[in-house]
Amino acid sequence: MDKLFLNIFLLSSIIFTGSSDILQAESYTLHESTESKEVNIYSARKAYLLKPILKAFEKDTGIKVNIISGKSKELQKRIEREGTNTRADVLLTVDAGNLYIAKSKDLLKKIYSKKINTLIPEYLRDQDGYWYGLSVRSRVIMYNPKKVNLSDLSTYEDMANKKWKGRICVRSSGNIYNQSLLASLIYHLGEKKAKTWAKNIVHNFSRKPKGNDRTQMISVILGECDITLANTYYLGKWMSSEKDKDRKYAKQIAVYFPNQSDRGAHINISGAAVVKYSKNSDNAIKLITYLAGDKAQELYAEANHEYPIRENINVSNIVKSWGYPFKQDKLSAAQLGKNNRKAVEIFDKVNWQ
């Protein structure tokens, strides 16, 4: 690779030229190869989580991988600014809502691959071929077993019951995970009932929304609230942590999968798409195909404690300990994006801050 380009590429992982936005990113080259045998990823997933899979991809294909990590919105803004000059080939991000937004902004390239479509279930990918789900996470109820009887838990809808008044802590309405959960409720319940649900959840808050999923989980453990909504893999990270404090926390909170007697627990995805102005589209498609394959699915499920896109893939022992398989809400992930704007509007109307 041209040394000048390499230096520019590495520098660009830190500073956006002509912008005050700072991308907290990291970039690495796994091994040297010719420029025609590379693929460049803009990733909202941390590079260290992907490194084992990408190393395997390089070894198996001979295609070199460059990766820049940053927040989803920042990466999308960067692709917009760079336009035809972008070096990005693949956008790897979290939540179907983010992928849907990237598609609506015309940042992605439509592709068709029979193999990819075979590997990835239809409900986990864009029907037009613009983006594809590569891992599954479930947004569940996490609770303090010392304060909550298992028999008191049932559905997401039941969280709006008055019995939970002053007992719920949760992230802000600006969080895409909560937006997507509400988007699913809009689909299943209708806009009017979804709004009533959100309004009653606000009435049940133990405090104003603040912090990330881990903040909510800690609040449950410390007795600031009794239940919260969180993605399962955060507990997995605690359970597998080298820190004594994390492992201690993990023993004081439990997972409950809602709606097991009807539609199933809400799920979302992390996924990938080929960037519209990709210079290495063939390699990008090869990478997405690889990430959807059995080898990569097992590696990622074991490393990050998320769920694979097919139930025949092994999951980590930690994931098994929560109960697997569980009934998943197999609503098309695209619906989470389609209803995102309505979800945001409802959150604003009910003052879910």
Q: What is the CATH number of the domain that holds 114?
A: 3.40.190.10
Query: Is 103 in the same domain as 126?
Result: yes
Digitized pLDDT (tens) for each residue of the chain, 353 residues in all: 444 444 434 434 433 333 333 333 333 344 433 446 999 999 998 877 788 899 999 999 999 999 999 999 999 999 999 999 999 999 999 999 999 999 999 999 999 999 999 999 999 999 999 999 999 999 999 999 999 999 999 999 999 999 999 999 999 999 999 999 999 999 999 999 999 999 999 999 999 999 999 999 999 999 999 999 999 999 999 999 999 999 999 999 999 999 999 999 999 999 999 999 999 999 999 999 999 999 999 988 988 899 999 989 999 999 999 999 999 999 999 999 999 999 999 999 999 99
Query: Is 143 in the same domain as 256?
Result: yes
Which of 184, 159, 344, 190 shows the shortest CA–CA distance to 269?
A: 184
Per-residue pLDDT at 36: 62
Domain assignment present for 187? yes
Beta strands per DSSP E along the chain: 27-29, 38-43, 64-69, 90-94, 132-143, 227-231, 254-256, 267-274
Per-residue pLDDT at 45: 85
Query: Is 88 in the same domain as 199?
Result: no
CA angle 352, 227, 154 (to 5 degrees): 100
Per-residue pLDDT at 300: 86
Q: State the Cα–Cα distance between residues 100 and 339, nearest whole angstrom.
A: 10
The sign of the torsion formed by the CA atoms of 285, 120, 77, 215 equals negative
Domain assignment present for 258? yes
Query: Is 15 in the same domain as 152?
Result: no
Per-residue pLDDT at 243: 97
Which of 227, 237, 222, 77 shows the shortest CA–CA distance to 166?
A: 227
Domain assignment present for 320? no
Query: Is 209 in the same domain as 337?
Result: yes
Q: State the Cα–Cα distance between residues 137 and 101, nearest whole angstrom.
A: 19
Domain housing 332: 137-266+326-349
Query: Is 38 in the same domain as 71?
Result: yes
pTM for the predicted model, two decimal places: 0.87
Query: Is 119 in the same domain as 182?
Result: no
Based on the structure, what is the number of domains in the chain?
2
Tokens of 54: 């990408």
Which residues are registered as beta bridge partners of 28? Answer: 67
Domain assignment present for 161? yes
For residue 285, what are the contacts with CB-CB under 8 A and spacing of at least 6? 111, 113, 116, 274
Query: Is 211 in the same domain as 248?
Result: yes
Q: State the Cα–Cα distance between residues 118 and 139, nearest whole angstrom.
A: 26
Query: Is 231 in the same domain as 336?
Result: yes
Query: Is 161 in the same domain as 70?
Result: no
Q: State the Cα–Cα distance between residues 248 and 222, nearest whole angstrom.
A: 12
Query: Is 274 in the same domain as 260?
Result: no
Domain assignment present for 21? yes
Per-residue pLDDT at 50: 86
Q: Give one DSSP letter per residue of 250-294, joined into a string.
A: HTT-EEE---TTTT-B-EEEEEEEEBTT-S-HHHHHHHHHHHHSH
Domain assignment present for 223? yes
Query: Is 118 in the same domain as 150?
Result: no
Domain assignment present for 25? yes
Domain assignment present for 231? yes
